[in-house]
């Protein structure tokens, strides 16, 4: 099974089609709005094209990804079949976690490649543009991994409600519309992706807080996995 098995499980449930829709709709819409005035500022185009995707559709897509990775096994205790065949619960969750991380990373790469097309076609100084947004892209990756960690923890704790991750993603995406422009955005991880586009406005102490949030979420996930080492059920005791 492994990560390839996780990929195959989602081939027929519409996950990849939905992820593609959540990628193409906001970026295509923003490309139309951005390119039509014939703007030549590559950094501004990068921010404008990715803004709607990072603010709303990326958190929802991550929530959808985590929910769909859980829904097949955990809605009807299908994971018990794998356990009876000698696969530990810990291994099942690790495979799902790595699958979600890899898909999220590839998803971001696709978003950046699509975004780069109108920039390449309209801007001359590409080296300067991507040098200026390099830290922004790195922050976008880290902020997305934080959301994956949080959603995975939510689905482990509330394993009987696998679609809860999707609901949290929708709430998080909508919430970022109201919170990301306030001083409290640092307390709301779902606003991190949109704020990654404005990396120059982020203070150093805020960057440290974000790194701490990432490490804490990862440490808690590892701790929960270790507690499941010998378990054959998702029940917490």
Q: Are 62 and 99 in contact (CB under 8 A)?
A: no
pTM, two decimals, is 0.91
The yes-or-no verdict on residue 36 having pLDDT over 70 is no
Res. 236 pLDDT band, cuts 50 70 90:
very low
The whole-number pLDDT of residue 1 equals 58
The yes-or-no verdict on residue 237 having pLDDT over 50 is no
Exposed / middle / buried, residue 84 (Cβ in 10 Å: 0-12, 13-18, 19+): exposed
Extents of the domains making up the chain: 2-227
Closest C-alpha among 172, 173, 156, 155 to residue 164: 155
- For 222, the token pair is 């590892």
Q: How many CB atoms lie within 10 A of CB 52?
A: 17
Residue with tokens 């978003």: 111
Give the SS3 label for residue 180: coil
Mean per-residue pLDDT for 66-84? 70
Euclidean distance between CA atoms 30 and 48, whole angstroms: 7
The yes-or-no verdict on residue 169 having pLDDT over 80 is yes
The yes-or-no verdict on residue 113 having pLDDT over 50 is yes
Question: Higher-confidence residue: 154 or 6?
Answer: 154
């Amino acid at each position: 099974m492994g990560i390839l098995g996780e990929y195959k499980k989602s081939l027929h449930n519409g996950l990849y089609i939905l992820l593609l829709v959540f990628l193409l709709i906001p970026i295509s819409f923003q490309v139309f709005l951005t390119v039509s005035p014939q703007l030549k500022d590559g950094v501004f185009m990068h921010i404008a094209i990715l803004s709607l995707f990072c603010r709303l559709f990326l958190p929802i897509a991550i929530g959808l990804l985590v929910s769909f990775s859980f829904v097949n096994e955990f809605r009807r205790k299908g994971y018990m079949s794998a356990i009876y065949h000698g696969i530990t619960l810990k291994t099942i969750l690790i495979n799902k976690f790595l699958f979600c991380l890899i898909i999220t990373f590839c998803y971001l790469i696709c978003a950046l490649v699509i975004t780069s097309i109108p920039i390449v076609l309209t801007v001359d100084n590409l080296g300067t543009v991507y040098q200026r947004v390099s830290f922004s892209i790195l922050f976008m990756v880290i902020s997305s991994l934080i959301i994956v960690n949080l959603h995975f923890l939510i689905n482990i704790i509330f394993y009987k409600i696998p679609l809860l991750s999707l609901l949290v993603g929708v709430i998080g995406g909508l919430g970022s519309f109201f919170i990301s422009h306030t001083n409290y955005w640092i307390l709301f991880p779902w606003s991190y992706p949109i704020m990654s586009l404005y990396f120059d406005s982020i203070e150093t102490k805020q960057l440290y807080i974000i790194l701490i949030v990432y490490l804490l979420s990862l440490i808690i996930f590892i701790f929960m996995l270790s507690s499941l080492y010998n378990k054959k059920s998702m029940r917490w005791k």
